[in-house]
């Protein structure tokens, strides 16, 4: 099964030249909008609460220590919680929807009809969705981190009287390139993993509509499993 997922990902990205066709770009734009733009409110709220909770706990732990507070924020939000919580929201919204959509198309013979019209389902259905979800994951991760860190600094100002300007200066001084690069890599990895797993379970052969909820459940559960496995592996290798 792992090999089948890898093969699906490889075949999808081999079809990137299909983006030269407008209908394929339309699918890409719709997937990016659904996964990215329509998730802004949810991701923003989760990010705000995450920043508030993290900084409150840090304050209780280290007290009025601005540099240590910012350093722990970098470790917690940039390294881990930003990519991880963002993909959790995406799994809840887009992974289930993607698996359900493709499963329904499979039941209704729409995918077979595409093949009969000489349209590759991988080029028209899979590749733009994988790419769109991955791009949205990258953008939402940056958005999450910006809001969470800003909220954390604001809370630190209200609770400890720290200056926003000095906190911002400390943040840019303490954050390192490899932490930014690792966060970016995780967002790309998570986006690819979740989209490929969702497409795989959506495209599996089905004979009845009752199998659609099963495909959705499997897509969500497997997505969570591969994300946590990937996050643990990257963290161990990098840090």
Q: Is residue 10 included in any domain, yes or no?
A: no
More confident residue, 115 or 35: 35
Q: Give the pLDDT mean for 124-141.
A: 94
Domain assignment present for residue 166? The answer is yes
Print the domain residue range for 141: 22-233
116-130: per-residue pLDDT in tens? Answer: 888 888 899 999 999
Does the residue 5 lie in any domain? Answer: no
Q: How far apart are CA 32 and CA 133, in angstroms?
A: 6
Distance CA 239, CA 22 (A): 42
What is residue 2's predicted lDDT score, i.e. its pLDDT? 75
Q: How far apart are CA 138 and CA 131, in angstroms?
A: 11
Residue among 83, 43, 93, 46 at smallest CA distance from 198: 93
63: in domain: yes
Total domains present in the chain:
1
**How confident is the model over 26-64, as pLDDT tens digits?**
999 999 999 999 999 999 999 999 999 999 988 888 777
Domain membership of residue 15 (yes or no) is no
* pLDDT per position as a tens digit, 69-114: 888 888 899 989 999 999 999 999 899 899 989 988 888 888 888 8
- pLDDT at residue 207, as a whole number: 65
pLDDT for residue 206 is more than 70: no
- CB-based contacts of 109, cutoff 8 Å, min separation 6: none
Q: At what angle do helices 82-90 and 40-62 cross, to 10 degrees?
A: 150
Lowest mean pLDDT among 183-187, 204-208, 211-215: 204-208
CA 2 vs CA 193, 206, 222, 230: distances in Å: 11, 20, 11, 13
What single-letter DSSP state applies at residue 123?
I
Residue 17 lies in a domain: no
More confident residue, 207 or 108: 108
Cβ atoms < 10 Å from Cβ of 98: 30
Residue 11 lies in a domain: no
- CB count within 10 Å of CB 79 equals 22
Which three-class secondary structure string do you get for 70-115? Answer: HHHHHHHHHHHHHHHHHHHHHHHHHHHHHHHHHHHHHHCCHHHHHH
């Amino acid at each position: 099964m792992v090999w089948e997922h890898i093969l699906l990902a490889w075949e999808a990205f081999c079809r990137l030249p299909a983006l030269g066709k407008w209908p394929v770009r339309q699918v890409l734009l719709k997937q990016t909008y659904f996964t990215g733009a329509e998730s802004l409110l949810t991701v923003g709220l989760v990010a705000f609460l995450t920043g508030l909770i993290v900084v409150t706990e840090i304050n209780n732990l280290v007290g009025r220590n601005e540099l240590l507070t910012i350093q722990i924020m970098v470790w917690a939000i940039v390294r881990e919680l930003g990519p991880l919580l963002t993909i959790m929201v995406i799994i809840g919204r887009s992974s289930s929807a993607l698996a359900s959509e493709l499963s329904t198309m499979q039941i209704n013979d729409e995918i077979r009809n595409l093949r009969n019209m000489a349209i590759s389902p991988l080029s028209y259905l899979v590749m733009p969705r994988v790419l769109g979800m991955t791009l949205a994951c990258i953008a939402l991760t940056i958005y999450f981190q910006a809001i969470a860190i800003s909220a954390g600094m604001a809370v630190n100002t209200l609770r400890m009287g720290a200056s926003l300007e000095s906190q911002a200066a400390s943040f840019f001084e303490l954050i390192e390139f490899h932490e930014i690069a690792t966060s970016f890599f995780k967002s790309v990895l998570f986006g690819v993993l979740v989209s490929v797993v969702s497409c795989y379970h959506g495209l599996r052969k089905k004979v009845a509509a009752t199998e659609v909820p099963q495909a959705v459940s499997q897509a969500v559960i497997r997505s969570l499993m591969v994300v946590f496995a990937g996050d643990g592996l990257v963290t161990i290798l990098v840090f």
